């Protein structure tokens, strides 16, 4: 039975894949219910930066490279905004154990970007994030156009280069 | 089985029909997904006592999954394919095999969203219901059934679900596990009432109800007592008084919870209280007590300062959809009881991790993060961040009721008595730690941390509730990063762990060279130089490198892995020691 199921599902996806459009975007930012920093309901459809690119990073308070990534971005974030108008959303996948620690951590660290809470990994699953940190760049039409797994010292410069290319209308590959 | 097959096929053909038939439906559709493969090649290692026999002649282990999601407007469908051939060391043998443990179809019309198939869900903080998965832990308790989310007016979210839970690869059958039903309402008052829309105080209230139905097994006990002896002309007859008892196991076990989140300016308060009906099960030794839990957090934060306080009190809250399930590895959990301690990112600080004790614990945690401002005398040019954290887990007071003679020594009907929010004498865990983070200049960054941990090994690892095996450890960490230029950096991590108990003292050194955004190379050694057993003063060395190309990541590691508990969110898995190669491949598309 398992085999029949697998084949049928694969068929379904094969049909779907063959029918998808050919734009460069990887996928559209999914519409998922998460929470904002005040614990208010927030749907990712509300994410908007007036047609300018958006960077979205997945992180957790217990993830060492994520904290490094955010510290590094925070240092240059004001410059980024002035130069490109980019906006950063940091999506915390901290679960019930640590999600209430997110706001004190963000403020305590003095991070200046927007933070969203995804305590049961709904957005994480919809965007196929395996392990944090995982960074996405979203174009002005709300389409994910670039993604990157992990964080190495200096990777943030790569992000802003992609954003600059997007704004200039250049090919990001 | 036949009807199951028929049903599955019908559902699938409906989907395929929808997908293939309606061409307009497919326009603009997008497919995305991800794949991860973890493969290990094991070698024998005399030093660690690893032989072909202990490995069961399994030289190779591989865990892998692939997700494919299809999204088109308000419709989405997806599945996850998993393979464990063989399961890697530390994963239960029952995972062996290949299949699709997770697939779903989801549709949204207006404010109603329906999911058919498998789904994950969480009510409140999860005290009575949480379906989730964690790949590194091999944990997946997804629900298989139907789930609906409905928002009748702005600010109100109602959820309802019915399903059975995943148990390795075993399909659901009557009697092999229960059926879970649940409903939850979330009410964000500021959106519901016009008069509160502008209020600076944000109030969110919630209530949930969960019920489990299970066809219960029959547990009987026979008590025999010699009643009398009668002597009749030389023949002695002994009368035996035999009594049969049967445990009165409930078919339905209900639970409910109430919660509130109140935010005002920099303050945030969250509180949730849950109660569970009588639920005799293998975890609590089949006692008929009700369960209770309270979880609350209070935080205050403003730019540069964050304060967090949290308490927890739980009693008899193991809640599984099969009453005979014990919990190693943890499966069929309906609820989630978070560990109250902090998760640390350094290997020595996670040598002694805490795991939630569902039968009863009191917990407390406090944390302060403060960033000394940039360009101040103490903060330096870039600012300096200080973090203090304290957590404590203790037993709750239990007055044991006299053991029942019927069940042969198992605790009496209710097991014990306790007062709400009572705190017992036995320490399960304590952790005090602080960290300083400072950037000296554009090239050098440093972090220094100190931890003092008390670990009750008997309680956490062996289910023995005494203080005869306490580990008191002091841990120090120095983490330095040197940035040569935009792309090249070197990171060094020096760690020490000192304890008179358990395996004694450790030193660890890690060197990592990074070339952004593609390469990393690292060498690491954890040396157990203070092990009281001279033969076990082992170097756990590791050499690894990794390559990242956009959303593809590939890493290869060779070395020794020490045994220990791997914990995520208070749920732990024991990982045995091993030596060999580990290959990890991750990709998203």
Model pTM score: 0.88
Residue B65 lies in a domain: no
The structure tokens listed for B302 are 């403003």
CA distance linking residue B507 with residue A49, whole number of Å = 48
Write down the residue that tokens 């109660």 correspond to. Answer: B275
CA distance linking residue B349 with residue B362, whole number of Å = 22
Minimum-distance CB partner of B306 among A12, A15, A107: A107
Residue B495 lies in a domain: yes
B304/A110 Cβ within 8 A: yes
Minimum-distance CB partner of A28 among B71, B77, B518: B71
CA distance linking residue A95 with residue A138, whole number of Å = 25
Q: How distant is the Cα of B245 from the closest Cα of chain A, in angstroms?
A: 42
| pLDDT digits 0-9 by tens, A98-149 | 888 899 999 999 999 999 999 889 999 999 888 889 999 999 989 999 999 8
Q: How confident is the model at residue B403 (pLDDT cuts 50, 70, 90)?
A: low
Does the pLDDT of residue B201 top 90, yes or no?
Answer: yes
A4/B516 Cβ within 8 A: no
Among A86, A83, A24, smallest CA distance to A50 is for A86
Q: What is the mean pLDDT of residues A75-91?
A: 94
If one counts the domains in chain B, the total is: 1
Q: What's the DSSP call for residue B1?
A: -
Q: What is the mean pLDDT of residues B7-18?
A: 57
pLDDT for the residue A21:
41
Q: Is the ipTM of this complex over 0.85?
A: no
The distance from CA B291 to its chain's CA centroid, rounded to whole angstroms, is 20
**Which residues in A lie closer than 8 A to residue B77 (C-beta atoms)?**
12
Q: How confident is the model at residue B318 (pLDDT cuts 50, 70, 90)?
A: very high
Q: What is the mean pLDDT of residues A66-80?
A: 93
Phi-psi region of A36 (alpha: psi -120 to 50; beta: other; left: phi over 0): beta
**Which residues in B lie closer than 8 A to residue A75 (C-beta atoms)?**
382
| pLDDT digits 0-9 by tens, B65-79 | 999 999 888 899 999
SS3 state at B477? strand
Does the pLDDT of residue A5 top 60, yes or no?
Answer: no
Does the pLDDT of residue B165 top 60, yes or no?
Answer: yes
DSSP string, A59-76: E-TT-HHHHHHHHHHHHH
Residue B502 lies in a domain: yes
Write down the residue that tokens 């009668």 correspond to. Answer: B230
Q: At what angle do helices A102-109 and A64-84 cross, to 10 degrees?
A: 60
Minimum-distance CB partner of B12 among A8, A122, A147: A8
pLDDT: which is higher, B374 or B210: B210
pLDDT: which is higher, B316 or A95: B316
Residue B189 lies in a domain: no
pLDDT for the residue B383:
87
Based on C-alpha coordinates, what's the Rg of chain A?
Answer: 17
pLDDT for the residue B452:
98
CA distance linking residue A70 with residue B18, whole number of Å = 43
pLDDT for the residue B13:
54
Q: Which residues contact B31 (CB under 8 A, 6 or more apart)?
A: A13, A16, A17, A20, A27, B68, B69, B70, B71
In which domain, by residue range, is B366 found?
339-532
Q: Which chain B residue shows the shortest CA-CA distance from A106? A: B306
Does the pLDDT of residue B406 top 70, yes or no?
Answer: no
DSSP string, B512-555: EEEETTTEEEEEEEEE-TT-SSGGG--EEEEEEEEEEETTEEEE
Q: What is the mean pLDDT of residues B496-500?
A: 97
CA distance linking residue B13 with residue A160, whole number of Å = 46
B432 burial type by CB count under 10 A (0-12 exposed, 13-18 middle, 19+ buried): middle
Burial B537-565 (b: 16+ CB within 10 A, else e): bbebebebebebebbebebebebbbbebb
CA distance linking residue B226 with residue B244, whole number of Å = 15
Write down the residue that tokens 């959990």 correspond to. Answer: B333
Q: What is the mean pLDDT of residues B571-576?
A: 74
| pLDDT digits 0-9 by tens, B407-448 | 555 555 788 889 999 999 999 999 999 999 999 998 999 999
Among A129, A125, A120, A148, smallest CA distance to B36 is for A129
**Which residues in B lie closer than 8 A to residue A20 (C-beta atoms)?**
26, 28-31
Write down the residue that tokens 């949480």 correspond to. Answer: B130
Residue B193 lies in a domain: no
Residue B129 lies in a domain: no
Does the pLDDT of residue B263 top 90, yes or no?
Answer: yes
Among B204, B108, B202, B197, smallest CA distance to B151 is for B108
Residue B295 lies in a domain: no
Q: What is the mean pLDDT of residues A22-49?
A: 83
B221 close to B408: Cβ distance less than 8 angstroms:
yes
pLDDT for the residue B102:
96
Among B128, B39, B17, B24, smallest CA distance to B87 is for B39
CA distance linking residue A97 with residue B136, whole number of Å = 17
Does the pLDDT of residue B160 top 80, yes or no?
Answer: yes
Q: What is the mean pLDDT of residues B22-44?
A: 81
Among B467, B449, B302, smallest CA distance to B387 is for B449
Lowest mean pLDDT among A6-20, B60-74, B349-363: A6-20
Mean pLDDT of chain A: 85
Q: How confident is the model at residue A18 (pLDDT cuts 50, 70, 90)?
A: very low
Strands B578-588 and A87-92: unpaired
B33/A20 Cβ within 8 A: no
């Amino acid at each position: 039975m398992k085999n029949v199921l697998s084949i049928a599902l694969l068929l379904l996806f094969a049909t779907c894949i063959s029918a998808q459009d050919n734009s460069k975007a990887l996928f559209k930012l999914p519409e998922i219910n998460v929470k904002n920093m005040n614990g208010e309901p927030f749907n990712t459809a509300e994410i908007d930066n007036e047609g300018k690119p958006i960077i979205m990073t997945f992180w957790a308070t217990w993830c060492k490279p994520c904290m490094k990534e955010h510290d590094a971005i925070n240092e240059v974030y004001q410059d980024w905004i002035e130069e490109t108008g980019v906006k950063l959303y940091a999506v915390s996948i901290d679960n019930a154990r640590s999600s209430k620690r997110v706001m004190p951590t963000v403020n305590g660290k003095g991070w200046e970007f927007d933070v969203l809470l995804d305590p049961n990994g709904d957005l994480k699953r919809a965007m196929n994030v395996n392990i944090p940190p995982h960074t996405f760049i979203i174009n002005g039409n709300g389409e994910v156009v670039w993604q990157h797994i992990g964080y190495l010292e200096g990777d943030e410069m790569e992000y802003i280069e992609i954003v600059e290319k997007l704004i200039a209308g250049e090919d990001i590959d | 089985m036949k009807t199951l097959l028929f049903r599955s096929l019908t559902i699938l053909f409906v989907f395929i029909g929808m997908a293939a038939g309606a061409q307009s439906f497919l326009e603009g559709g997008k497919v995305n997904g991800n794949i991860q493969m973890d493969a290990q090649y094991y070698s024998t290692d005399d030093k660690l006592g690893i032989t072909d026999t202990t490995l069961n002649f399994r030289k190779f282990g591989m865990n892998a999954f692939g997700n494919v999601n299809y999204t088109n407007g308000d419709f989405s469908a997806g599945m996850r394919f998993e393979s464990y051939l063989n399961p890697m060391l530390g994963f239960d043998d029952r995972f062996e095999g290949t299949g699709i443990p997770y697939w779903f179809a989801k549709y949204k019309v207006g404010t109603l969203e329906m999911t058919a198939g498998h789904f994950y869900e969480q009510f409140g903080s999860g005290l009575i219901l949480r379906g989730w998965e964690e790949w590194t832990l091999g944990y997946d308790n997804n629900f298989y059934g139907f789930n609906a989310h409905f928002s009748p007016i702005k600010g109100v979210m109602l959820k309802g679900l019915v399903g059975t839970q995943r148990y390795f690869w075993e399909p659901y059958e009557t009697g092999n596990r229960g059926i879970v039903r649940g409903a939850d309402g979330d009410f964000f008052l500021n959106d519901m009432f016009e008069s509160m829309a502008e209020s600076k105080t944000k109030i969110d209230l919630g209530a949930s109800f969960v019920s489990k139905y299970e066809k219960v097994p029959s547990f009987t006990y026979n008590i025999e007592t010699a009643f009398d002896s009668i002597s009749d002309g030389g023949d002695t007859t002994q009368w035996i008084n035999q009594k049969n008892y049967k445990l009165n196991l409930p078919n339905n076990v209900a639970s409910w919870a109430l919660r509130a989140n109140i935010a005002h300016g920099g303050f945030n308060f969250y509180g949730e209280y849950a109660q569970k009906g009588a639920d005799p099960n293998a975890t609590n030794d089949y006692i008929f007590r009700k369960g209770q839990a309270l979880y609350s957090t209070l935080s205050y934060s403003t730019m540069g300062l964050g304060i967090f306080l949290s308490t927890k009190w739980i009693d008899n809250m193991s809640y599984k959809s099969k009453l005979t399930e014990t919990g190693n590895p943890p499966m069929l959990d309906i609820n989630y009881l978070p560990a109250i301690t902090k998760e640390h990112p350094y290997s020595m600080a996670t040598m002694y991790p805490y795991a939630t004790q569902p039968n009863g614990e009191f917990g407390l945690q406090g944390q302060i993060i403060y960033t000394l401002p940039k360009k101040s005398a103490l903060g330096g040019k870039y600012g300096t961040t200080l973090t203090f954290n304290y957590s404590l887990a203790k037993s709750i007071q239990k007055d044991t009721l006299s053991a029942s003679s019927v069940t042969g020594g198992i605790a009496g009907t209710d097991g014990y008595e306790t007062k709400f929010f009572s705190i017992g004498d036995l320490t399960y865990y304590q952790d005090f730690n602080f960290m300083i983070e400072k950037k000296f200049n554009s090239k050098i960054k440093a972090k220094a941390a100190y931890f003092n941990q008390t670990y009750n090994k008997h309680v956490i690892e062996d289910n023995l509730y005494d203080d005869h095996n306490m580990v008191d450890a002091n841990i120090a960490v120095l983490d330095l990063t040197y940035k040569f230029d935009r792309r090249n950096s070197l990171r060094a991590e020096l760690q020490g762990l000192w304890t008179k108990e358990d395996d004694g003292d450790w030193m660890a050194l890690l060197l990592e060279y990074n070339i952004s955004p593609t390469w990393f190379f690292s060498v690491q050694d954890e040396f157990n130089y203070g092990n009281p057993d001279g033969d076990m003063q082992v170097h756990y060395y590791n050499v690894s490198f990794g390559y990242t190309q956009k959303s593809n990541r590939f890493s290869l590691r060779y070395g020794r892995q020490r045994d220990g508990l791997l914990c995520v969110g208070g749920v732990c898995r024991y990982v045995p020691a091993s030596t060999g190669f580990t290959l990890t491949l991750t990709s998203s598309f």
